[in-house]
A and B are shown apart, each in its own frame.
Chain A
Amino acid sequence: MKIISSIYSIAVIGVSLGLASCSAEGDYPGTEYAPQMYHSVPYEGLSQITNEEEGQWLSTREDGKGEFFNSNTNNPNRMNMREPVANTVPRNKEGILPYRLKVADLEGAASTQNPIPLNDEVLADGKRLFVQYCTPCHGSGGEGDGKAGMVIGGVANLKGGAYLNLSEGHIFHVITHGKGRMGAHGSQITADRRWEIVHYVKQEIQKQ
């Protein structure tokens, strides 16, 4: 009889262990093994631990805060990023300088030349990028019939007569700064990739 009762007590412990499981669910990320190797010591790009007490129980920090506290209190809104130093000019490895024409300077934009030489590889890239960034509104054929575009309304039909004769520079300018109901996409797509999209629109979409 003793054996049986001990079996039952083990079973109860086992079931309760199973219920209080260590796995992640909903807002709970789950139990961690060796948390000191999990959490980043340097500032982490897309996650922060803002609770100063977190990991207090194994903290060896000199400032007395929790071991896992990882948030940049010196920057505005605790962000890790800072804006570039004033008057510095970024340029990429192809030497393309930032696009400097102002939003209203469509005339200046129209005479800008495409710095990316046209070839099949660029066209393939342009097509891929067009699908990623343009089709939600302009549709896969550029006819202004993308699913999100239907909700927004007023999306340009890139094959429409009003758009056929636009210069490459004009299209680049509009992708960068937006125009009419279109938002600015300069922050999402790098300059060289925007020029590739321009090539694709001019060579493929508008010649179909």
Chain B
Amino acid sequence: MSIKRSLLGVSIRVCHLMVLIFLFSGIQAYAVDPEVPDSEEAISAGQSIFNANCKTCHRLDQKLIGPALRGVTDRRELAWIKQFITNSQVLVQGGDADAVALFKEFNNTVMPAHDFLSDGDLTNLLSYIEFGDKVDPAAAAAAAGAEGGEAASSGGGIPNEYLTIILVVLVIVLVLVLVVLGLIVSVLTKYMNKNDDLDEDDKAFINQKTDYKGIFKSDGMIIIVTAIVLAFVVKTAINGLYTVGVQQGYAPSQPIAYSHELHAGQYEIPCQYCHTGVEIGKSANIPSANICMNCHMHIQNVEGKDGISPEIAKIYDAVDNNKPIEWVRVHNLPDLAYFNHSQHVVVGGVECQTCHGPVEEMEVVSQYSALTMGWCIDCHRNTEIDTQGNEYYDKLVQLHSESSNDALKVKDIGGLECAKCHY
């Protein structure tokens, strides 16, 4: 009997191994509990229950927050499974060995109770777990291929290389035209010189030589060159002076190589998730490390790499030692000007990108707008006020329309007053 049992144990272990080996090849290497139905209705009913309640932590063939589920009716008793799904903590607290082992294996993560599922629901769920969404290797490969093709064909418009090629071809054609024209001129000159019945004036015209030295030393040439050089110098100087005090393009390196392209672009995290002050205060705020930790307590590296990324380790270091991360401020408005984010974002309804540019495409954030006074005023002159459904503006609009045909703009309600920003 004991030999038999140990043999059985071995065969079960082998069976588990087979499950692991053939997980993705879709070959069924375990025995499904015969009580689990494999009808289409049961599977599709189970699928909707699975998607609503289980999908976030479980996959059929892959370990996620919880274990991979396919083959569970082979590993455990049916009654045990149903009890565990209904309320796993009852089993764990009751000291059931399997339940406690599972609980420990998955870092004491509590699986929520599902006591609202009926016995029929649970059976359907199990039939989806055992029979649903079988991985078909051929289909999976085809899907992967299709995805690759899609990625390759994306990024429409004319590629840069084509433009370069077109330009080069154009230049070659123009040079050829020039050469041909030169040849025609020399041929014509030779032909005309063979003609004897030309008078002196025409001969001189045909054989004239250009006096390059004379042109170079002539007063007109000197004046033209002087004017061009002077204009260039003045233009450079004025351009240079205009950049004094304007930090457009400032892109300081940060203590952590944080990528807005990855967070705001690829993962579509809204700006306000981290910049929490933007709707309620003057500053948009730079997030503290505890906000990073909302995600990074689970995400320790990029793209599923093993170990802790050195950049993410800096967050852990800051949190462990209770030290702030000293980010470098990118947008430094001069102290002489007052700016309030909530006024512009909440009241004005201005999008972040209007002033900060496509931050979700920036690997390193740089100052996108000039942030000069002219830039502010320009927007105040052109922006119309949304007066719809706001009684506050009724009288103002009425008064404004008596003296002007234009829509009510920010400049009309004090957007150009000095003391709005300078005091």
The CA of A44 and the CA of B273, in the complex, are separated in Å by 23
Contact A14 B267 (CB under 8 A): no
Q: Which residue of B lies closest to A164 (CB)?
A: B116
Considering the chains assembled together, what is the distance between the CA atoms of A70 and B117 in angstroms? 62
In whole angstroms, what is the CA distance A33 to B241 when docked?
Answer: 10
Q: Which among A31, A165, A183 is the interface contact of B244 at CB below 8 angstroms?
A: A31
User: Which of B241, B247, B273, B332 is the one whose CB lies under 8 Å from A136?
Assistant: B273
Contact flags (1/0) for B233-256 with A, using CB distance below 8 Å? 100110111011111111111000
Structural contact, A22 and B240, CB atoms closer than 8 A:
yes
Q: State whether the Cβ of A131 lies closer than 8 Å to any Cβ in chain B.
A: yes
A18 interfacial contact with B, CB 8 Å = yes
- Tell me if B283 is interfacial: C-beta within 8 Å of chain A: yes
B69-77, B223-231, B354-362: which lies at the A interface?
B223-231
A47 touches B295 (CB 8 A): no
Do B295 and A13 touch across chains, with their CB atoms under 8 A apart?
A: no
A interface size (C-beta, 8 A): 71
- Indicate the member of A28, A187, A188 with the most B CB atoms within 10 Å: A188
Chain B residues within 8 Å of A131, by CB: 270
Q: B215: CB under 8 A from chain A?
A: no
**Inter-chain contact A187/B298, CB cutoff 8 Å:** no
Known: A7-B229, A155-B56, A156-B56. A180 touches B110 (CB 8 A): yes
B56 touches A153 (CB 8 A): yes
The A26-52 residues at the B interface (CB cut-off 8 A) are 26-34, 37-41, 44-47
Q: Are A154 and B225 in contact (CB under 8 A)?
A: no
In this assembly, does A169 line the interface, its C-beta being within 8 Å of a C-beta of chain B?
no
| Also in contact, A46 and B286, with CB within 8 A (given A14-B236, A17-B237) | yes
- State the main secondary structure of chain B at its contact with A: loop
Number of A-B contacts (CB under 8 A): 190
| B contact residues, range | 35 or more
Q: How far is the CA of A185 from the CA of B295 in the complex (A)?
A: 11
- Contact partners of A10 in chain B: CB under 8 A: 229-230, 233
Asked if residues B273 and A147 are in contact (CB atoms below 8 Å), the reply is no
Identify the closest chain B residue to A28 (Cβ): B250
Contacts of A144 in B (CB 8 A): 55-56
In angstroms, how far is the closest chain B Cβ from the Cβ of A69? 14
Known pairs A144-B56, A157-B56; A38 contacts B272 (CB<8 A): no
**Residues on the B chain within 8 Å of A180, using CB:** 109-110
B222 within 8 A of A: yes
Given A3-B222, A188-B291 in contact, is the A152-B236 Cβ separation under 8 Å?
no
A11 touches B233 (CB 8 A): yes
Interchain CB contact (< 8 A) of B250 among A30, A77, A153, A187: A30
The residue of chain A having its C-beta at the shortest distance from the C-beta of B291 within the complex is A188
CA distance A160 to B112 in the complex (A): 11
Instruction: List A contacts of B206 (CB < 8 A).
Output: none
Assess whether A23 is in contact with B243, with CB atoms less than 8 Å apart.
yes
Give the residues in chain B near A31, CB-CB below 8 Å. 243-245
Q: Does A184 contact B (CB under 8 A)?
A: yes
Which residues from B are CB-within-8-Å of A7? 222, 225-226, 229
A161 at the interface (CB under 8 A from B): yes
Q: Smallest CB–CB gap between A124 and chain B, Å? A: 13
Q: Cβ of A151 < 8 Å from any Cβ of B?
A: yes
CA distance A148 to B266 in the complex (A): 9
The 0/1 profile, CB within 8 Å of A marked 1, for residues 90-133 of chain B is 00000000000000000001101110110000000000000000
A105 to chain B, nearest CB (A): 16
Task: Give B245's nearest chain A residue, CB to CB.
Answer: A33
Bound CA span A14–B226, Å = 13
Are B53 and A161 within 8 A (Cβ)? Answer: yes
Complex Cα spacing A106 to B232, Å: 73
Q: Does B47 contact A (CB under 8 A)?
A: no
A34 and B236 alpha carbons, distance in the complex (Å): 21
A112 to B283, alpha carbons, bound, how many Å?
33
Contacts of B64 in A (CB 8 A): 153-154
Judged by a CB distance under 8 angstroms, whether A135 is at the interface is yes
Query: B314 in the interface, Cβ–Cβ < 8 Å?
Result: no
Expressed in whole angstroms, the minimum distance between the Cβ of B183 and any Cβ of chain A is 36
Quick check: A24 and B268 within 8 Å, CB to CB?
Answer: no
A60 to chain B, nearest CB (A): 16
Contact for B252 among A26, A136, A161, CB less than 8 A:
A26
By a beta-carbon cutoff of 8 Å, the part of chain A in contact with chain B is: 3-4, 7, 10-11, 13-15, 17-18, 21-34, 37-41, 44-47, 77, 79, 131-133, 135-137, 144, 146-149, 151-157, 159-165, 178, 180-185, 187-190
Q: What are 5 A-B residue pairs whose CB atoms fall within 8 Å in the complex?
A: A3-B226, A23-B248, A132-B272, A157-B52, A181-B298
4 tightest A-B CB contacts, nearest first: A183-B294, A14-B233, A154-B65, A23-B243
With A77-B324, A149-B56 given, name 5 new contacts (CB 8 A): A23-B243, A23-B248, A135-B268, A157-B56, A188-B291
